Amino acid sequence: MIWFVFALLSAFFDATYYTLIKINLSRFNKYLMGTIIFFCSSIILFTISVYNGFPAIGPSFYYVLILTTCINYFATVLIYKSLDKGDISLVIPFKSLTPLFLILTSYFILNESTSFLGFLGILFIVSGSYFIVFDKNKNLLAPFKQLFKNRSIFFMIIVAFLFSISLNYDKLLIQNSDTYFGVSIEYAILSILFFVTYLLSKHNKNSNLSLTNIKLPILILVSLVLSLVAITMNLALTYQIVPYVTAIKRTSAIFVVLYGLVLFKEKSIKQRLLASAFMTIGAIIILFA
């Protein structure tokens, strides 16, 4: 059950990471922020890899690296956009839909399959996502319309799907290197991609969110948390299949809702907490599937 501990730690660090991102999106240019965070995380993970000794590189390493990096780049951009406009306790729990998509993607990419209980767990997760946007004053179909009318939620659903693909390749990246090295290179490339995006962005000039306003210690803290997310997640993946690890990691929804209550004074917390609890029950069912 060591994988469960690592996955649960990853859930906590994941919620903390996105909370810190939400706090700092109004202070820094999101592309420049991403550049620094991924660069510092890459240095942290690469240093650990050097200390442990460089791993043997598998034959699929470069193919998998390019593929998962590109997918994670687009997913991260959408996350930043979603968090910039939406409540963190509203949008992040929709990442819990990832295990729904993983049932199919993990089967085709990694030949990892789940049982009937896995589908039951998915039912709870989908129910949770429904009740997050449910309004008792409207009809039962209103939440489904909200999924497409609210851009922040819609972006996060796309992210959930993108992660259902990239997480499989993240595991292949580990199998073709180790827990630290492959991710450190991925983060280095992501840093470059975000810096190029920043340079090409029309908002990078004459902006009060420019490089001169960057608070490096804050972003180093965020980078450290992101590194902990990657380390704990990858360690869990070495012991268990992707859908189950991801399902437990998505219990981060509970931590996110609590952060939303304490730090951002967001509304409808009771409803969102109940909905996140449904998702968590689903994740636990998947754990024992």
For residue range 276-286, list pLDDT tens digits in order: 778 778 877 87
Q: What is the pTM of this model?
A: 0.86
Contact 117, 289 (CB under 8 A): yes
Cα gap 188→167, rounded to integer Å: 18
Share of the chain above pLDDT 90, in %: 43
Cα gap 45→218, rounded to integer Å: 18
**Dihedral sign for Cα atoms in the order 108, 3, 48, 188:** positive
Residue 35 pLDDT level (bands cut at 50, 70, 90): very high
**Dihedral sign for Cα atoms in the order 77, 273, 167, 176:** positive
Taking every pair of C-alpha atoms in the chain, what is the biggest distance, in angstroms? 60
Q: Give pLDDT, residue 137.
A: 56
pLDDT digits (tens, 9 = 90+) for 57-66: 999 999 999 9
Q: Round the CA-based radius of gyration of the chain to a whole number and report it.
A: 18
Q: Indicate the range of 171-180, 243-252, 280-289 predicted with least confidence.
A: 280-289
40 pLDDT higher than 90: yes
Q: Give the residue-averaged pLDDT of 106-116.
A: 85
Q: Give pLDDT, residue 91.
A: 81
Q: Give pLDDT, residue 131.
A: 72
Please indicate whether residue 109 or residue 148 has the higher confidence score (pLDDT): 109
Q: Give pLDDT, residue 211.
A: 53
Share of the chain above pLDDT 70, in %: 87
pLDDT digits (tens, 9 = 90+) for 112-121: 887 788 778 8
Q: Give pLDDT, residue 206.
A: 45
231 pLDDT higher than 90: yes
3 state SS for the chain: CHHHHHHHHHHHHHHHHHHHHHHHCCCCCHHHHHHHHHHHHHHHHHHHHHHHCCCCCCCCHHHHHHHHHHHHHHHHHHHHHHHHHCCHHHHHHHHHHHHHHHHHHHHHHHCCCCCHHHHHHHHHHHHHHHHHCCCCCCCCCHHHHHHHHCHHHHHHHHHHHHHHHHHHHHHHHHHCCCCCHHHHHHHHHHHHHHHHHHHHCCCCCCCCCCHHHCCHHHHHHHHHHHHHHHHHHHHHHCCCCHHHHHHHHCCHHHHHHHHHHHHHCCCCHHHHHHHHHHHHHHHHHHHCC
Contact 171, 68 (CB under 8 A): no
